Amino acid sequence: MQEFWEKNKVYGFDANETDKPSYSIDTPPPYPSGDFHVGNALNWSYFDFAARYRRMKGFNVHFPQGWDCHGLPTEVRAEKTHKIRKNDVPPAEFVRMCRELTEEYISRMKQTIVRLGISTDWKLEYRTMDPSYYKLTQLSFIRLYNTGHLYRGEHPVNWCPRCETAIAEAEVEHQERHSVLYYIEFGQDDRKLEVASTRPELLPACVAILVHPDDPRFKPIVGKKATVPLFNQVVPILEDPDVDSSFGTGAVMVCTFGDKMDVKWQNKYKLPLIRAITENGRLAVEDPRFKGLRTEEARKRIAELLTGQEKITKTEPQTQSVGVCWRCKTPVEIISRPQWFMKTRDMTEDVVEKAAKLRWVPEYARTRLNDWARSLDWDWVISRQRIFATPIPVWYCKDCARIILPDENQLPVDPRQDSPPIKKCPKCSSSSLTGDNDVLDTWMDSSITSAIHAGWPRQDDWFTKLFPASLQPNGLDIIRTWDYYLLVRSLAMFGKPPYETLLINGMVRGTDGRMMHKSYGNFVEADEAMNRYGADPLRQWAASGGSTGSDIPFRWTELDHGKKFLTKLWNIARFVLTSTPVIPESREMDELLLLDKWLLGAVQDLVKQTTEHFENFEFNLALEAVRDFTWHTLADDYLEAVKYRLAPEANIDDKKSAQFSLYETLVTICKLLAPICPHITEAIYQQVPKSNTMAQSIHKSEWPTAETSRFDESIAKQGRALLEVIALSRRKKADSGLSLKTPIRALEIYTNPEQLTVLRENEEVILRTLKAEKLILAEARDFRIEIST
C-alpha cells in the first residue's frame, strides 16, 4: 500500500490548488537521534490522524517533516563516537562529523516513519543544518536585532561546565541531590558569625552577608563587616527581606554566583563581581591551594582546611533540588560572560493574552505555557558556546566594539571563518574586525518553522494561507520550549501567534508504569512493535491509549486487540465482497427491508459521532465508535440476520437490498477508519468494485457526511426490537443444546402487540436466521420464546 501511495502521489500538498482551503500542520522537527520508540510513534500518529482526516474533509493539507539537526545531543554523540572533545579537531572537521552522524540518524528515523504509514509530504522535508535553512535563521536574527528585540550584554546565565555552553532556563532540569550543609564561622570584630552553606567552594567569591531585617539575633551587627575565613576578604553585613531566617543560622552568604538569588542581590546592592567558577567548571582563583580544582574537589579541600582551623562548627545532611543540564545531568553553574539575548521578559503579558485566544487541546495545556512564561526571571539567552549550530551573523570592531551585521543578501555567513562584510568599522574606521565565535541556540532554528513552511520571507498569497499554521501538534514536554519560543518569535516578528490550534499529546509510559526511558529497560522501539503486529495495530494503540494530553501506558495487549480487530474487519470485507462482486444498484430508503434501513441509519449515526470526535481530536472515542460498530452492530447483529439473503437461491430483490446496504456500510466504515488504520482500509478499498466517480485511493476520497434523512427514530427502534428477538431466540436455541445451524420445526414467540407488528412484518428474516420451518406469533403479557424440534 505504501508503494501504491508513493507511486500515485496520494498525499502531496498542491501548490497550484486554488479552490480547496489549506490546512497547515507545523510538525515538531525532532533531533535526529536515530531512535524512534513507541512514544515517537504516538506523536507521529497524532499528526497523521489529523492530516488524513483533514485531507478527506477536502483540505489541501501541508504536512512537512523537518529535522532539528543542531544542538548538544549530536555534539555529545560525535564526541563519543570519535572519542574526542569538540575542541580537539578543527571546527569544520567537527561539523563534518556531526553532519555525517545526523544524516545516518535521519535515514534510520525516516524509514520507521514511512513504515508507520505517516502521510508526510516528503517534498517539504527540511534540515536545519542546511545552509538554505540556517540562512533564514540568520535572517530572522538580523530582523529581530534591527527591531530592537535582541541585545548583546553581560548577564549571568545558566552554564553547563561539562558541555561548556550557556543554556536557557528551559534547559535546566531539577533533580533531588544529597549534600552537606556546613556551618562556617566568619570573623566579625571579636565575635563569631556563623553562616550555613552547602557550597564552601564559593567562599572566595563571597561578596556580602545578608540577614532578615526582623531577625533580632543580628540587629547589633547589621551595617558592620565580616571577614571570610581562609580567603580573608572583608564583606558588608546587610539586611534583606528575602532572606529566609529559618534556614541554617539565618545569615546567608552572597557569592557571585551560587544561584539566581545571588544574581538578584549582587545587582540590588551593587556588590562587586568575583568570578567563582571557570567555564570548564574549575575554581577561578589564583590561590595555589585551590587553583584549577574542580568544584567538588575544591569543596572537599576547603571543608578540610576549615575543619583544620576549627571554622566548621557543625555539619548536617541536606536534600536539595539542584539545577542540572538537561543533556548531561551535570549541575549547572551561573556564569557571567557576554551573550546574546532576546527580550522575552517584557513579552510575558502579551504571551499570556495571545495564548488565551488560541484553541488548546486539552484546555489545561494552556496553563503550562502561562505558568512557564510568568516564572521566567531572565531574558532568553540565545547564544551558545558550541560548534555544530547556526553561526551568529555578527562581526565586531576590536577598537570600538561596534556591532557589524551583514546585509540580508549576503546570507548565509559563518563569521567564524568568513571575512567581514565590510573592510572598515563604520564608526571608527578601524580595519581590525573580528567575527563572533559563538553560535545560536538550536531553538532559534526551530522556533520559526511555521513561518518558513509558509514561504517566509516571501509575503505572497501562500504566506497568508499557510501562516499561522492551522495545527501545532506536540508533546506536553515541549510546551515551555517549542510552543513558547515559537510564540515569542512570532509575536516579535509578525505581531501574531504562529499557530491557531495546539494539539498536545501526553507522554508514553513503559509497561512498568514508569516514563519510557532507555536506562529503565522499558523502552520499546516502534520497529519492534511493528515487527510483531504491523503498523495499523500500533496506530490503534496510539489512538486508543487515552484522552488527548493524558499519559499513555504502552501495552502489548492493546496491539493484540488491534490486530484481532483487523482480522475481523478483513473477514467481514471478504464476505461482503464475495457476495457483492459488482457495484450494487442504488436504492431509495423506502425500497429497503427493515434491517437494511436500520443498518444505514446506524451508519449515519456513526458518521455523525466519528466526525465530531475527529473535530475534537478525540481519537480514542472515534476509534472505539468504529470498532464497536463493526464488531457488534455490523458483524454480530446485522450480518448474522441477512446471510440467507445473500445465498445464490435468495429472492433477488431482497438480495439487492442487502448488497446495497452492505456495500455502503463497508465503504463508509473504511473511510471512517482510514485516518487511524490507513493500510487495511486501503487494501479493502482497492478490492471494492468502484464506479468512475470514486477516488482511486481511499485517502483521496471524501469524508462521509451524515445524511440525517436516512436516520429514522422509529425504524431504529423497530430494527433494534427485531434484532433483540433474533438474538434471544438464538440464545434459546443454544441453551437447548442445538447448534445454530440445526433446523427446528417451530419457533413460538409471545410478546406485546407493538413488537408483534414488527415481527409479523419480518417473519422471513426470523425463520431463515433461526432455521425454523414455522413461526408462531402470539400476544402475551410476558415475553417468552419456545422451540420445538
Selected from 111, 280, 307, 430, the binder of Zn ion by CB under 5 A is 430
Query: Is residue 399 close enough to count as binding Zn ion by CB under 5 A?
Result: yes
Comparing CB distances to Zn ion, the nearer of 272 and 426 is 426
Q: Shortest Cβ distance from residue 379 to Zn ion (Å)?
A: 21
Q: Shortest Cβ distance from residue 447 to Zn ion (Å)?
A: 21
In sequence order, the 6+-apart residues with CB closer than 8 A to the CB of 342 are 144, 149, 150, 379, 380, 382, 488, 489, 492
Comparing CB distances to Zn ion, the nearer of 325 and 593 is 325
Query: Is residue 125 close enough to count as binding Zn ion by CB under 5 A?
Result: no
Q: Which stretch binds Zn ion (CB under 5 A): 111-119, 182-190, 391-399, 694-702?
A: 391-399
Comparing CB distances to Zn ion, the nearer of 192 and 427 is 427
Q: Shortest Cβ distance from residue 81 to Zn ion (Å)?
A: 17
DSSP bridge partners of 336: 156
What is the C-alpha separation between 762 and 765, in angstroms, rounded? 6
Query: Is residue 707 close enough to count as binding Zn ion by CB under 5 A?
Result: no
First to last CA, the chain: 51
DSSP bridge partners of 219: none
Query: Is residue 427 close enough to count as binding Zn ion by CB under 5 A?
Result: yes
Query: Is residue 403 close enough to count as binding Zn ion by CB under 5 A?
Result: no
**Binding pattern for the stretch 141-160 against Zn ion, x by CB under 5 A and - elsewhere:** -------------------x
Q: Which stretch binds Zn ion (CB under 5 A): 371-379, 419-427, 608-616, 708-716?
A: 419-427
What is the C-alpha separation between 539 and 702, in angstroms, rounded? 22
Comparing CB distances to Zn ion, the nearer of 160 and 365 is 160
Report the alpha-carbon angle 209-213-218, nearest 5.
60
Kindly give the pairing relationship between strand 252-255 and strand 206-211.
Answer: antiparallel
What is the C-alpha separation between 331 and 474, in angstroms, rounded? 28
Residues 161-220 that bind Zn ion (CB under 5 A): 162-163
Longest dimension (CA), the chain: 115
DSSP bridge partners of 156: 336
For CA atoms 93, 95, 100, 101, the dihedral sign is positive
What is the C-alpha separation between 606 and 654, in angstroms, rounded? 24
Query: Is residue 282 close enough to count as binding Zn ion by CB under 5 A?
Result: no
Selected from 143, 402, 416, 768, the binder of Zn ion by CB under 5 A is 402
Q: Shortest Cβ distance from residue 128 to Zn ion (Å)?
A: 21
Per-residue burial over 769-782, b = 16 or more CB atoms within 10 Å of its CB, e = otherwise: bbbbeebebeeeee
In sequence order, the 6+-apart residues with CB closer than 8 A to the CB of 286 are none
Q: Shortest Cβ distance from residue 402 to Zn ion (Å)?
A: 4
Q: Shortest Cβ distance from residue 29 to Zn ion (Å)?
A: 22
Q: Shortest Cβ distance from residue 434 to Zn ion (Å)?
A: 11
Q: Which stretch binds Zn ion (CB under 5 A): 126-134, 192-200, 430-438, 761-769?
A: 430-438
Residue pair 543/623 in contact by the 8 Å Cβ criterion: yes
Comparing CB distances to Zn ion, the nearer of 263 and 433 is 433
What is the C-alpha separation between 547 and 1, in angstroms, rounded? 29
Selected from 15, 92, 356, 400, the binder of Zn ion by CB under 5 A is 400
Residue pair 323/173 in contact by the 8 Å Cβ criterion: yes
In sequence order, the 6+-apart residues with CB closer than 8 A to the CB of 224 are 188, 189, 236, 237
Selected from 166, 208, 277, 397, the binder of Zn ion by CB under 5 A is 397
Residue pair 313/185 in contact by the 8 Å Cβ criterion: yes
**Binding pattern for the stretch 592-621 against Zn ion, x by CB under 5 A and - elsewhere:** ------------------------------
Q: Which stretch binds Zn ion (CB under 5 A): 398-406, 447-455, 552-560, 734-742?
A: 398-406
Instruction: Kindly report the backbone phi and psi dihedral angles of residue 326, in degrees, each rounded to the nearest multiple of 5, phi listed first.
Output: -60, -25
Query: Is residue 92 close enough to count as binding Zn ion by CB under 5 A?
Result: no
**Binding pattern for the stretch 572-591 against Zn ion, x by CB under 5 A and - elsewhere:** --------------------
Comparing CB distances to Zn ion, the nearer of 125 and 399 is 399
Q: What cell numbers appear for 289 in the block?
A: 591551594
Comparing CB distances to Zn ion, the nearer of 425 and 749 is 425
Q: What cell numbers appear for 108 in the block?
A: 534510520
Comparing CB distances to Zn ion, the nearer of 15 and 403 is 403
Q: Shortest Cβ distance from residue 280 to Zn ion (Å)?
A: 12
Comparing CB distances to Zn ion, the nearer of 174 and 427 is 427
Comparing CB distances to Zn ion, the nearer of 406 and 704 is 406
Residues 716-745 that bind Zn ion (CB under 5 A): none
Using only C-alpha atoms, what is the Rg of the chain? 35
In sequence order, the 6+-apart residues with CB closer than 8 A to the CB of 656 are 584, 585, 587
- Count of residues binding Zn ion (CB under 5 A)? 15
Number of H helices and number of E strands within the chain?
24, 28
Query: Is residue 356 close enough to count as binding Zn ion by CB under 5 A?
Result: no
Comparing CB distances to Zn ion, the nearer of 343 and 402 is 402
Q: Shortest Cβ distance from residue 166 to Zn ion (Å)?
A: 11
Q: E-assigned strands of 142-279?
A: 150-160, 165-167, 172-188, 191-197, 206-211, 225-227, 234-239, 252-255
Query: Is residue 283 close enough to count as binding Zn ion by CB under 5 A?
Result: no
What is the C-alpha separation between 379 and 365, in angstroms, rounded? 23
Q: Which stretch binds Zn ion (CB under 5 A): 429-437, 639-647, 736-744, 774-782?
A: 429-437
Q: Shortest Cβ distance from residue 400 to Zn ion (Å)?
A: 3
Q: Shortest Cβ distance from residue 162 to Zn ion (Å)?
A: 5
Q: Shortest Cβ distance from residue 279 to Zn ion (Å)?
A: 12
In sequence order, the 6+-apart residues with CB closer than 8 A to the CB of 267 are none
Residues 306-345 that bind Zn ion (CB under 5 A): 325, 327-328, 330
Query: Residue 33 half-sphere exposure, CB side, CA atoms within 13 Å?
Result: 14
Q: Shortest Cβ distance from residue 323 to Zn ion (Å)?
A: 11
Instruction: Kindly report the backbone phi and psi dihedral angles of residue 576, in degrees, each rounded to the nearest multiple of 5, phi listed first.
Output: -60, -45
Secondary structure element (H or E) that encloses residue 502, with its range: strand 499-505
Residue pair 193/221 in contact by the 8 Å Cβ criterion: yes
Query: Is residue 749 close enough to count as binding Zn ion by CB under 5 A?
Result: no
CA proximity to 383, closest of 342, 352, 421: 342
Query: Is residue 422 close enough to count as binding Zn ion by CB under 5 A?
Result: no
Query: Residue 514 half-sphere exposure, CB side, CA atoms within 13 Å?
Result: 8
Selected from 78, 263, 347, 425, the binder of Zn ion by CB under 5 A is 425
Q: Shortest Cβ distance from residue 517 to Zn ion (Å)?
A: 18
Comparing CB distances to Zn ion, the nearer of 171 and 527 is 171
Q: What cell numbers appear for 385 in the block?
A: 558556546
Residues 224-253 that bind Zn ion (CB under 5 A): none
Q: Shortest Cβ distance from residue 439 to Zn ion (Å)?
A: 16
Q: Shortest Cβ distance from residue 172 to Zn ion (Å)?
A: 10
Q: What cell numbers appear for 625 in the block?
A: 465508535
CA dihedral 632, 638, 644, 650 (to 10 degrees): -150
Query: Is residue 51 close enough to count as binding Zn ion by CB under 5 A?
Result: no
Query: Is residue 368 close enough to count as binding Zn ion by CB under 5 A?
Result: no
Which residues contact Zn ion by CB under 5 A? 160, 162-163, 325, 327-328, 330, 397, 399-400, 402, 425, 427-428, 430
